Amino acid sequence: MGVVLPVKRLTAAKSRLRGAVTGVPHERLVLALAQDTVTAVLASAGVAEVLAVSDDPAVGRALAALGARVVPDVPGGGLNAAFAYGAGLLAHRPVAALAADLPALCPADLSAALRQAAGPHRHFVADAPGTGTVLLTAPAGVRLDPRFGPGSAAAHRRSGAVPLAGDWPTLRRDVDTAADLDAAVRLGLGPHSAGVAQAPTRCSSS
Ligand SMILES: Nc1nc2c(ncn2[C@@H]2O[C@H](COP(=O)(O)OP(=O)(O)OP(=O)(O)O)[C@@H](O)[C@H]2O)c(=O)[nH]1
Ligand SMILES: C=C(OP(=O)(O)O)C(=O)O
């Protein structure tokens, strides 16, 4: 499976999270979320390649250092354009589109979801509240057709993608707000976010 992760420019990304950790620059927190997400993805069984889509040079350097391939964003395209572009570059193999704001992600949860996503259909995993999407997959040669954004779980279902029903709490825990970050802290954070938020670490990513 090839995994595509989009990361906005750090100054603009995750605006609802701004100020969530007192004394920590916003850009540092957002980068740490992406670093922990990529670290867990790279440690997950079934992942052959990780492609980050970002225009931010600091994101590019940090994620490339972890082992991701990094390509620039689609000018003016937005989140779904970034996912579609990245998926197109990996279309020779099954593709997974993953939010880059999953700092509690454990490789075991992602690996289990990717195993269930095998087969001829597109699949998705809803976020913890059930309205958003954290993961969308497509078989090799099938258009990803991402519909991320408000109400994306219903939109992905309407588009024909099949919901995956596993528990996977660390996969479903995306972080958009300070309350989401608190919930992720309770699961245990990856090392980058744990350092930034001075919180406990999660399952081992290696
Ligand atoms: N490359 C790229 N990534 C994006 C874009 N928009 C969102 N993302 C990333 O997609 C993931 C999910 O982002 P969201 O939480 O939906 O969006 P956000 O705009 O960063 O957050 P808010 O400002 O709080 O709405 C994060 O990793 C973002 O950095 C985009 O236009 N291009
Ligand atoms: C983009 C999405 O979510 P959020 O902005 O809540 O991260 C989504 O769930 O499709």
| Closest Cα to atom 9 of ligand 2 | 132
**pTM beyond 0.90:** yes
Low-confidence ranges of the chain (pLDDT < 50): 206
Which ranges in the chain belong to alpha helices (H)? 26-42, 57-66, 79-89, 107-116, 152-158, 169-172, 178-187, 191-197
Q: Which of 4, 174, 175 to mutate to test the pocket of ligand 2 (most atoms within 8 A of CB)?
A: 174
Would the CB of 37 count as within 6 Å of ligand 1?
no
Tell me which ligand sits closest to the C-alpha of residue 70.
1
Share above pLDDT 70 across residues of the chain, in percent, rounded to a whole number:
99
The CATH number assigned to the domain with range 2-197 reads 3.90.550.10
Dihedrals phi, psi of 6, to nearest 5 degrees = -90, 140
Q: What is the atom index within ligand 1 of the atom nearest the CA of 101?
A: 27
User: Which pLDDT does position 120 carry in this prediction?
Assistant: 94
Dihedrals phi, psi of 26, to nearest 5 degrees = -55, -45
User: Which pLDDT does position 204 carry in this prediction?
Assistant: 60
User: Which pLDDT does position 206 carry in this prediction?
Assistant: 46
User: Which pLDDT does position 22 carry in this prediction?
Assistant: 93
User: Which pLDDT does position 198 carry in this prediction?
Assistant: 86
| Closest Cα to atom 28 of ligand 1 | 7
> Minimal CA–CA distance to 186: which of 64, 74, 104?
104
Q: Which of 33, 79, 127, 175 to mutate to test the pocket of ligand 2 (most atoms within 8 A of CB)?
A: 127
Would the CB of 180 count as within 6 Å of ligand 2?
no
Instruction: Report the distance separating Cα 103 and Cα 192, nearest Å.
Output: 8
